[in-house]
Every structure is written in C-alpha cells, then in structure tokens.
Structure 1
C-alpha cells in the first residue's frame, strides 16, 4: 500500500464539542413549546424539518434555527406566539456565540503529527460560524490547509486530498461521522478512521462499513499516531 502522507481531520465533534450545543438548544426549544407538543413528538418534527431544509440552507446553526421556527409553526398550527419566535432566534444567536471547547487529547495529537504529515482541516457548515470556531479553538496553527465545504462526498475528498497532497490513496480522513467523514473518504480511496463521539445527529447516522481494509476505529483521537505507526 502507498505510504500515508496527508491527514484530514473533521472539526465538529472530532476536534471540539458541537452536537451537545445543539442538544442543549433542542431542550430549550422543547421547553418553549411544552404547552403545544410532547418533547418526543416535537423532536421528530424538528428532525424531519432539518432533513428537508438541509438541501436549501445547508448544515449549521442558521439552518437549524430556521428548522426550529418552521417546526414551531407546524406544531402550533400557525398559532406560535411572537415571543416564542423571538426566543428561538435568541437561542440561535447564543449558539453562534457559544465558547469552543476542544476535546481531550486533540492538541497533543496534532502537535505530535505536525511536520510529519500534511494536516488538513476539512469541515462542513456555515462559513462564518466555522471560521469563528476554528479561530476560537486555537487549533488552526497546526494545519497546513483549511477547507470549509457545503457537503462531504467522495468527490470532495478526491479533490481536497489532491489539492493538499498526493491524492486520496495516500491520505487518511479522521472524523466522528461515519456518513460524512468515513464512508465517502473510503469511496474516494483514502483511509478512514472513525473516532466516535458521545452523540450522533440523526442525519449523520450510518452503519460501519464491512470488508474495508482501509477502515479503522479508535476509542479516542489520541490513538491516531499509534495507528499510523502500525500502518507505516
């Protein structure tokens, strides 16, 4: 097999906490609409709205906020109070200002790998919010390239690993999402290393690939250097 020269890293829930912020906001949203809908029913409607709207608004806080407003209109049969809409908008703004908390072992891992491999940050979502989180994390200094994309698929990884390295066959993608980070990277010909996070967004759920010798799973990101040593 070709030597690995380039490492791609997902950002949200791979380098720092993200989904827990969405879950806390969902709880806040459920509290606001408690008089109109049971929590489980509301969350089902919200996920359905997100599934519809991601094609129009993309991934991230802004699309999530619009989906909450749409859901509130639906479950109240267009009777949602203006004050509730205002609080949903406030919740969205709070998310866009939430502190960025890097996950354990992330910085030590990036320090250990920098200079040995080309490190590329590959994240999807709202441009402004992703730029804010990257800067606030302080981790941008470890990367040779940063790419914010609208979605992740096999062509995304072929293009980016060719742009920042010698192509996908000599690259490895590290991330928490099987659907976005691992499966399309494997389809592109790269290695895929799944680092599970404590929460998985409903639209990112997928099964582990079977029979893929380039697929690996580690308990935490700190084990990536050990994996690379075994593969070299």
Structure 2
C-alpha cells in the first residue's frame, strides 16, 4: 500500500455521490420523465435527447437539478413538436421539486472518516452544482461542523482547482482530493501535482465517464469505501 505524501495539509471532498447519494435520484427522474413522454418516443431515444440537451445547456445553466429541470422541459417541447400538454409540464416540474426535497442519505463511513480526520487536516468541500441546492444539502447532512471551507465550483477542470489552491494559499502537493468522478475529482488534480482518491459510485452520469486511455496516464488510488482512505494517511 502506497502511503499518501506527508505534505498533505488540506483534504477536499466532493459532495454528491462521495458524501451522500445523488446520481441515483437523477436516474429515477429520467425514468419518470421517459414514462411521461412515452407517447412520443422510446425510452432510449428520450434518454439520448435529454442528455444531448443537458450537455448543450451546461454553459448556460451549469450543473445541478434546476438546470436538469429546464432541460427536461425543453426536451419535452422538442420531442412533442411543441404539442406537450400543460399537465405534463407541471408533472416535469413536480419531478424536479421532489428531487430538491429528497432527504440526505449519507454514504457508509462518511461521518466516521470526517471525525477521524478533523483536527489533523483542514477539511473542505469542493463540489459542482447549484449553490442554493448544495448549501441546502450540506445543512441537512449535519456535516458542516467538520469543514473549514465550502467551495461550490462552476466546473472542475485544472484551472478551477488551481484557483482553489491559490485561494487556500497552499501548494498543489499539499492538497488531497477525494471523489467519485475520475473526470472531475481525480484526473485534473493529479495533472496539477495534487493527490487524489477515486471512490467509484455504482452509477455515473455519462458526461463524467472517461476512457481507459485517459485513466492510464495518471497515478491515483482507487478504494471501494471511503473508510479505506484512513489506512493511506
């Protein structure tokens, strides 16, 4: 087992699907959406069109449930040739509101790990998404007491992490990131000289998937449960 550098001063945690369940709710919502529009297209085609529209809208709406709701509405209009009924639009909005109201389901071992690391390192959250929604989830999670800083990022590319490192006034080698997405939480960090742990979640949004070639270029640790991180520190 390779021990993580003793230079680490700050440990950053992704939020969705690292601290608590999130992507599962999007898969459920996509299924409900496809049922609402089943008279217009097959579920597979609806999924493809919704994904296309989501990606097209990322630059305007960013990440999160609110952008997802707007993309569902746009998709419904397009697939129905603008004939979709008002009640269907209302049902789409209800899907989104139900997602926003979901309880926070912490993943196994999260609080145990945060409690163990608190005081030894500066702990922060570095996550994407809608600011209001992420603040709500953090509040409901009862985890705020463990974190020194919360950073809700518009994106998670190398330049975004470099800005975070500058804000924290540390060197890249002093940062460890823990997250479920190779594309957002691992590869950009390793590329700029930080350390990273990959904790795969059982479902991943297609936009976050990366090729095996991209993965093979970088060195990082993969664990199946966040509690395993402790043995590396």
Q: Place the TM-score, normalised by the shorter chain, in its bin.
A: over 0.9
Once the two structures are superposed, residues 139-198 of structure 1 have per-residue CA deviations (whole angstroms, 9 ceiling, x without a partner) of: 111111111111111122222233335221111111001111111111221011100001
1:75-94 correspondence runs (5 A): 75-94=79-98
- Are residues 183 and 176 of structure 1, via their aligned partners in 2, closer, same or farther at CA, if it must alter by over 3 Å? same
Matched, 1:193 2:197: yes
What residue ranges of structure 1 are gaps of 5+ in the alignment? none
Asked if 2 retains the 8 angstrom alpha-carbon contact of 1:100 and 1:137, the reply is yes
Give, in whole Å, the separation in 1 of the partners of 2:185 and 2:123: 15
Match of residue 219 from structure 1: 224
Report how far residue 212 of structure 1 moved.
2.8
- Residue 222 of structure 1 aligns to a residue in which SS? helix
TM-score by length of 2: 0.93
Match of residue 40 from structure 1: 44
Once the two structures are superposed, residues 93-123 of structure 1 have per-residue CA deviations (whole angstroms, 9 ceiling, x without a partner) of: 1111111111010000111111111111001
Moved over 4 A (4+): none
Asked if 2 retains the 8 angstrom alpha-carbon contact of 1:2 and 1:169, the reply is no
Give, in whole Å, the separation in 1 of the partners of 2:53 and 2:200: 25
Match of residue 55 from structure 1: 59
User: Aligned pairs, how many?
Assistant: 227
- Are residues 211 and 151 of structure 1, via their aligned partners in 2, closer, same or farther at CA, if it must alter by over 3 Å? closer
- Residue 81 of structure 2 aligns to a residue in which SS? coil
Give, in whole Å, the separation in 2 of the partners of 1:83 and 1:130: 29
Matched, 1:144 2:148: yes
Give, in whole Å, the separation in 2 of the partners of 1:95 and 1:158: 32
Matched, 1:116 2:120: yes
Give, in whole Å, the separation in 2 of the partners of 1:73 and 1:106: 41
Report how far residue 2 of structure 1 moved.
6.1
Give, in whole Å, the separation in 2 of the partners of 1:165 and 1:113: 20
- Residue 181 of structure 1 aligns to a residue in which SS? helix
- Residue 103 of structure 1 aligns to a residue in which SS? coil
Matched, 1:135 2:139: yes
Match of residue 70 from structure 1: 74
Give, in whole Å, the separation in 1 of the partners of 2:150 and 2:23: 21
1:149-164 correspondence runs (5 A): 149-164=153-168
- Residue 88 of structure 2 aligns to a residue in which SS? helix
Asked if 1 retains the 8 angstrom alpha-carbon contact of 2:127 and 2:153, the reply is yes
